[in-house]
Amino acid sequence: MKHPLHRDGESYPSPPPQRRPRGFASAPAPAAGASPRRRGVQEREREREKERTKLRERHRRAITGRMLAGLRQHGNFPLPARADMNDVLAALARAAGWTVQPDGTTFRSSNQPLLPPPPQLHGAFQVASVETPALINTLSSYAIGTPLDSQASALQTDDSLSPSSLDSVVADRRIKTENHGNSSSVSSLNCMDNDQQLTRSVLFPDDYTKTPYIPVYASLPMGIINSHCQLVDPESVRAELRQLKSLNVDGVVVDCWWGIVEAWTPRKYEWSGYRDLFGIIKEFKLKVQVVLSFHGSGETGSGDVLISLPKWIMEIAKENQDIFFTDREGRRNTECLSWGIDKERVLRGRTGIECYDRYMQKNLRQSALSRGHLFWARGPDNAGYYNSRPHETGFFCDGGDYDSYYGRFFLNWYSGVLMDHVDQVLSLATLAFDGAEIVVKVPSIYWWYRTASHAAELTAGFYNTTNRDGYSPVFRMLKKHSVILKLVCYGPEYTVHEKDDDEAFADPEGLTWQVINAAWDQGLPLCIESALPCRNGEAYSRILDTAKPRDDPDRHHAASFAYRQQQQPPLREACLSELCTFVKCMHGEAPQNGEG
């Protein structure tokens, strides 16, 4: 076929046929002489088609998100936080024994059989018998501001739920290398209730010999310092530290409360009790992690003292209750100051989905005005109440308003306020604690994790839904300040075994692995804290598997681990033998004869 000739005699090939546009691009452009009414109809159709395309894309990403969560939880696949289907297929192919090159070329290695399915292991502990009672039937809303010293009763619904707070922790840089002896278990368990019986287990610590050294810290009880900043029982503290030293524990975690140190007058600080405590800790050459707690502590049920915000703060609140987080019904959370006063001098010249105090409302109004939608300057009016389930609300249900234009604007603003608050606090903390390691604690808000909206996380300020990774943006900001991330984990008692019967659609393991993978993807060092005392070998095994993942190709591991001690002496004595061997596993050491 001859090509048409140009006038200068050169020939050119015919242009390729134009592809038919799809989706909203397929709508014909309005004719020059078309009426304004017709052009308006065509524009509206294009907008509707755009929205339908976005909905289809979000639905596809939601399916991918559920697949990723399942693979991370049940298969321990090393998937990045923002993985796509290519990452999923590559991980499955590698697990089946195939070789996947970076360009996607996949083949089976010559003379290499398919890998057998991985054995069902419980880590370093072989459980002889498991009779763990269900501690809770449903997982209700949990007040993030409440200290983690609380036991199972702290998981009850709190009528004054506040958004999550991130506690800054200052840790010592020194590295401990001494080895100490072990202590065997003593005492009898006959005096305990049935729900407190320990499950005995057999330890195989050789699995963790020569693995990376992970420092282990023990959390001291909150009540060792009273409300007048006095050390209650120094000799009891020495006895406890002596026992921890015998277990080869690296250090201790101490809570320093704003309501104790600056209790009565602004800028008048009382440290006497903490000085005495730190002096005793120094005698035993243990390291210290100091938790700076700028919130109050509620009822814990463990005999600990109740700690409020400073008395002078409570006096200011009598005249201006908007310094507290406030819900739609006007209820105040008096255990935590609102983020809205970060730049407002309302604390005697100082600055200090509950966004209804006037300072947060002012911030929301400014943000809505900048977007040109002043009517968005409000909180959602269909988000339900504290005990509402997501499917019972118009905002958090599947396809609800949380995924609308307004919902996405509001949640972006809401999570942005949290990030701005943390950014400001860390900017000042890095100046005040120059040369010290700063650790930021992130809570595990795992109920409703297996729903599309992740309602509990949204109300706490983490914009993490099925089709949106809400933790990576937070961790990028933390990486900027060179801090360490501490994740609060829960034991196997809170792992959902019968998911069909789980009323709260909780998934502690799925959330844990999402946060861990997102932190490691950002290059953040990760510490792990056990929210509740470990009662059996399975709990220790899960902690070891989380702190030292066996199948991680990049050999990630936790930077440190902090555990909460048993409050009752019989339980604590019964745990000593297993705890000693667990510490050796965390240190990558082989136990001596007779241990484990």
Q: What is the pLDDT of residues 527-586, one digit of tens each?
A: 999 877 766 667 788 888 889 988 788 889 999 999 887 665 555 666 777 888 889 999
The better pLDDT of the pair 395, 296 is held by 395
Chain centroid to Cα 458, Å, comes to 12
Residue 138 has what pLDDT?
27
- Burial (Cβ within 10 Å: 0-12, 13-18, ≥19) of residue 430: middle
563 is written with which tokens?
């555990």
Q: What is the pLDDT of residue 15?
A: 54
| pLDDT of the residue at 456 | 93
Task: With a cut of 70, say whether residue 509 has pLDDT above it.
Answer: yes
Phi and psi angles of residue 184, each rounded to the nearest 5 degrees, phi first: -90, 165
pLDDT for res 271: 94
Burial class (CB in 10 A: 0-12, 13-18, 19+), 165: buried
Rounded CA-CA distance 132/196 in Å is: 9
For the chain, what is the mean pLDDT?
Answer: 73
The structure tokens listed for 243 are 């026992």
Tell how strand 287-293 and strand 251-257 pair up.
parallel
pLDDT surpasses 90 at 486:
yes
d(CA 573, CA 186): 6
Residue with the larger pLDDT of the pair 429 and 123: 429
| pLDDT score, position 408 | 94
Identity of the highest mean pLDDT range in 298-302, 305-309, 341-345, 505-509: 505-509
Q: What is the mean pLDDT of residues 51-75?
A: 72
Residue 168 DSSP code = E
Q: What is the pLDDT of residues 183-215, one digit of tens each?
A: 333 334 444 444 444 444 445 455 788 889 999
What's the pLDDT tens digit per position in 133-170? 332 232 233 333 333 333 333 333 333 333 333 343 44
Task: With a cut of 60, say whether residue 29 has pLDDT above it.
Answer: no
Kindly tell me the number of DSSP H helices and DSSP E strands found in the chain: 13, 16
Q: Which pLDDT band holds residue 491 (cuts at 50, 70, 90)?
A: low
Residue 16 or residue 227, greater confidence: 227
Q: What does the buried/exposed string (b/e) look like for 283-304 if buried means 16 or more CB atoms within 10 Å of the residue's CB?
A: eeebbbbbbbbbbbbbebeeeb
Q: 406 phi and psi, to 5 degrees?
A: -65, -45
Give the DSSP per-residue string, 509-543: HHHHHHHHHHHHHTT--EEEEESS---BHHHHHHH
Q: What angle do CA 42, 44, 45 make, to 5 degrees?
A: 65
Separation in Å, CA 500 to CA 116, 390, 491, 505: 29, 17, 20, 8
Burial class of residue 387 (count of CB atoms within 10 Å of its CB; 0-12, 13-18, 19+)? exposed
Tell me the per-residue pLDDT of 316-375, one tens digit each, with 9 for 90 and over.
888 888 888 887 778 888 888 876 776 666 665 554 455 656 778 888 899 989 888 888
From residue 433, alpha-carbon distances to 271, 273, 342, 420 in Å are 17, 21, 20, 20
**Over the Cα atoms of the chain, what is R_g?**
28
Long-range Cβ pairs for the range 589-594 (8 Å, 24+): 589/179, 589/205, 589/209, 590/205, 590/206, 590/209, 591/182, 591/203, 591/205, 592/182
Q: What pLDDT score does 72 carry?
A: 65
The confidence score (pLDDT) of residue 454 equals 94
Distance, CA of 475 to chain centre:
11
- Answer whether residue 275 shows pLDDT above 90: yes
Position with higher pLDDT, 552 vs 3 = 552
CA distance 329 to 356: 9
Give pTM, 2 decimals: 0.63
Tell me the average pLDDT across 437-443: 91
Task: Compute how many other C-beta atoms are within 10 angstroms of the C-beta atom of residue 363.
Answer: 20
What per-residue string of b and e applies to 391-416 under the rule 16 or more CB within 10 Å gives b? bebebbbeebbbbeebbebbbebbbe
As given in the structure block, the two tokens for residue 240 are 């406890």
- Mean per-residue pLDDT, 300-305: 50
Structure tokens at 232: 């209650």
245: buried, middle or exposed (CB in 10 Å: 19+, 13-18, 0-12)? middle
Integer CA distances (angstroms), 409 to 4, 17, 190, 403, 413, in order: 56, 42, 57, 9, 6
Q: Which domains does the chain have, with CATH numbers?
A: 125-303+382-587 (3.20.20.80)
Q: Which range scores top for mean pLDDT: 96-100, 212-216, 222-226, 374-378?
A: 212-216
Q: Does the pLDDT of residue 75 top 70, yes or no? A: no
Q: Residue 426 — pLDDT band, cuts 50, 70, 90?
A: very high
- Angle of helix 537-547 versus helix 569-587 axis, rounded to 10: 30
Question: CB burial class (10 A; 0-12, 13-18, 19+) of residue 500?
Answer: exposed
* % pLDDT > 90, the chain: 26
pLDDT of residue 353: 55
The three-state secondary structure class of 351 is: strand
Name the 3-class secondary structure at 241: helix
Report the pLDDT value the prediction gives residue 465, as an integer from 0 to 100.
93
Residues 7-25: b if buried by 16+ CB within 10 A, e if exposed: eeeeeeeeeeeeeeeeebe
Give the residue carrying structure tokens 């609102």. 338
- Give how far Cα 538 sits from Cα of 289, 344, 360, Å: 27, 49, 44
Query: In which band, very low, low, confident or very high, does the pLDDT at 6 lie, cut at 50, 70 and 90?
Result: very low
Alpha-helical runs (H) found in 350-404: 358-370
